[in-house]
Amino acid sequence: MAAIPDAAVHLEREARALLTRLARLKPFALHEPMVPAAMPTLAAQRAIERYLAAGRLELRGRIAEFLSWLIGPGARAAPDQMQRRFVFLRLRFNVVLSDFDMFADVLTQRSEHETGPWLSGLDAAAADALAPLRQMVEVPPLICYLDRGHGAAIRRARTRLPGGGTNPVAIVRIPRERMVGAGIGSSLVHEVGHQVAALLDLNNALRLAVQSARRQAGEDDRAWQLWERWISEITADLWAMSRLGVGATAGLITTVSLPRPFVFHMRDDDPHPFPWIRVRLSCALGAALFPDRQWQRLADLWAALYPIGTELSADRRATIAGLERTMPEFVSRLLGHRPPALDGRSIREAAHGPDRMPHQLRGWHRTWRDQFRQMRAAPPTLAMAVLAQARADGAITPEHESRRIGELLTYWALRAALQTTEFTSVRTRVGPAAAMTA
């Protein structure tokens, strides 16, 4: 049966219209207005642009194939067959467009006054939180953005995007309410911790350690079952603790200070420990990694803010009692485990940094108090940890902490912009081949 001529003409025009719209998807570098200090890292820009360019190229090829088929073998096809091929082509176009829009949402905020450089500063802090892994694995680029909502989140690098492609960068979402507040560092490094766990395959290794304890649990089987279920979020909390010290717990308290029913609410499908036990565990991890009396004070404060009352069901009180009873052994097993990715080192050895000990952080604050230049020269997560420790000790006010964090984010953004400019200048002068060996 010969095709109805109008169908072929109609679909040819629709396919050409797709090509026209596709041609309007320009690289972000050509249409995203932002000051240099707000730009993402060169690695992130390159990864995003290459991913999107590959998608556009592949789609152009599919459209060209469809047009060739339409005037060749498909010329005598039935209209519904032509339409079926075109519909799948348009669905693929929508996937490419959705990927573009996702990255556009992330990058467009960088044109906002003050917000743009702060996001670039957060990129620098996130990269520093991944720095300990650089000798072990290939670390992906990271990029941060703001969004509504209570919690932070991460779309990890090398995971599947909604359209089916592989995400080229780690995308960290930060709630706007925490710009710039006490919980910003804790939220950021917790999300980076999820990327760390994926790169080192920590969660699977730690689940095996918990399962070993569960086989001997007896009456505490329910508690060990919960520890196993929550291991991915606990691993991320532990990474935040290793980089920020008491700042991880202080930020966590800020985040989960909710109405009482939510603090004790536990869902069977939630990978997060419910807030009350999560803060208690954070204090226990802090005490094990960085011994200091402050952890007991924080644990006591949290228990006073949310006392276990008789309004909780007997089952819930029993669950909490089991978790508190098994917590010391869980912490010991967690920190003592030696995952294959760490080449014989324990989690404790990998997470414990002498420069994050409370007395060391206090000493740096005394040294840096009137020497902001020295603070901004420190690794970003160390500077955040020093400020968080000072805030926890009452040595600085919340206003001072917020002001300093904002200044640091702006400085880190400016430093990254200048380094990028210098790198680009060197490549321009000596040529790409020489720059690669410089």
Residue 245, by phi and psi: left (phi above 0), alpha (psi -120 to 50) or beta?
A: left
| pLDDT for residue 114 | 84
**b/e sequence 159-183, b meaning 16+ C-beta within 10 Å:** eeeebebebbbbbbbbbeebbbbbb
Tell me, rounded to whole angstroms, the distance of Cα 269 from its chain centroid: 21
Strands 153-155 and 170-175 come out as: antiparallel
| pLDDT for residue 422 | 52
User: Which two three-digit tokens encode residue 53?
Assistant: 């360019």
Residue 141, by phi and psi: left (phi above 0), alpha (psi -120 to 50) or beta?
A: beta
Residue labelled with tokens 């520093």 = 128
| pLDDT for residue 179 | 78
Instruction: Write out the chain's pLDDT in tens, 438 residues.
Output: 455 558 889 999 999 999 998 888 888 877 777 888 888 988 999 999 999 999 999 999 999 999 999 989 988 899 999 999 999 999 989 988 888 888 888 888 888 888 899 999 999 999 999 998 988 889 999 999 988 767 789 999 999 987 788 999 999 999 887 777 768 999 999 999 999 999 999 999 899 888 888 777 777 888 999 999 999 999 999 999 999 999 999 999 999 999 999 999 998 889 999 999 999 999 999 999 999 999 999 999 999 999 998 889 999 999 999 999 999 999 999 999 998 888 889 999 988 888 999 999 999 999 998 888 889 999 999 999 999 999 999 999 999 999 999 999 999 999 988 876 554 444 444 444 333 333
Q: How far apart are CA 372 and CA 48, in angstroms?
A: 35
| Residue 367 Cα distances to 177, 244, 328, angstroms | 31, 18, 36
Express each pLDDT in 126-172 by its tens digit. 999 999 898 888 999 999 998 876 778 999 999 998 778 899 999 99
| pLDDT for residue 313 | 92
Strands 153-155 and 142-147 come out as: unpaired
